[in-house]
Structure 1
């Protein structure tokens, strides 16, 4: 299975290079740091917005559920 995935990935990379006209570059294992920072910041922002919008309702639901157990 791993060999199949590796082969598929290699084929997709060759197709991408052919379509975009890019040459094959060695793989950079460091990743896209600015991209990860953006994803992290956007996730934190989404959690903050959801907490602000739905926080009181979620807190009331949790309190109600805990009180019903008592």
Structure 2
């Protein structure tokens, strides 16, 4: 039973150690995602502002 436990712990430790390594990849993914959000927001902001203004004017003008 102890050998099985030790083998499971060793396997988990090896898998966790393998998952830690690719920090530059995660940084690149994060930066690319932020860049996409900024680009999409730049193009969508006027349309979203128009939708918001239209909705607010309908709510405020409603008797």
TM-score scaled by length of structure 1: 0.53
Gaps of at least 5 residues in structure 1 are: 1-25
How many residues align? The count is: 45
Larger radius of gyration: 2
More helix by share: 2
How has the CA–CA distance of structure 1 residues 32 and 60 changed in structure 2, closer, same or farther, with 3 Å as cutoff?
same
Among 37, 49, 52, the residue aligned to 1:62: 52
RMSD of aligned C-alpha atoms?
Answer: 1.6
Gaps of at least 5 residues in structure 2 are: 1-13
Greater relative contact order (Cα < 8 A, sep 6+): 1
Which ranges of 4 or more aligned residues in structure 1 deviate by more than 2 Å? 29-32
TM-score scaled by length of structure 2: 0.58
